[in-house]
């Protein structure tokens, strides 16, 4: 199972908070860690940091550190691999909406902005 690409992908995105963190990086990563932490609301700083580090290690997220400002500022952005994964997750969302008995009004909003979140 260790070499199965489906299980490997599921291991990356299947951890709690991975998908919302990925969406936050796509939408607000340029605003830095604190802004993402505030928007995600229910996540602890430790878990946010762990997910960002894992996504960075996987080559999905890229971290920029700006040392020329005080305090030092960070920002995050999706890599090409991350943008491709984001498209897959959007397709998964559309699939779920198409076959769900509960018709949510997701549109293009991020999961953390959903009233069901």
pLDDT in tens, 70-115: 888 899 999 999 999 999 988 988 888 888 777 666 655 666 666 5
Q: How many Cα atoms sit within 13 Å of 66 on the Cβ side?
A: 12
Assessment of whether the complete model's pTM goes beyond 0.85: no
Residues in the chain: 117
The set of residues, in sequence order, having a beta carbon less than 8 Å from that of 40 and lying 6+ positions away, is 17, 20, 21, 24, 48, 112
Out of 4-8, 17-21, 82-86, pick the least confident.
4-8
Identify the structural domains of the chain with CATH numbers, from first to last.
5-113 (1.10.10.10)
> Dihedrals φ, ψ of 62, to 5°?
-120, 135
């Amino acid at each position: 199972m260790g070499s199965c690409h489906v299980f490997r992908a599921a291991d990356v995105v299947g951890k709690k908070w991975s998908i919302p963190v990925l969406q936050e990086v796509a939408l607000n990563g340029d605003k830095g860690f604190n802004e993402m932490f505030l928007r995600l609301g229910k996540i602890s700083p430790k878990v946010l940091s762990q997910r960002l580090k894992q996504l960075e290690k996987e080559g999905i997220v890229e971290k920029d550190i700006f040392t020329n400002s005080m305090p030092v500022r960070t920002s995050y952005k999706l890599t090409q691999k991350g943008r491709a994964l984001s498209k897959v997750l959007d397709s998964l969302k559309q699939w779920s909406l198409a076959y769900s008995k509960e018709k949510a009004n997701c549109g293009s909003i991020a999961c953390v902005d959903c009233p069901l979140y």
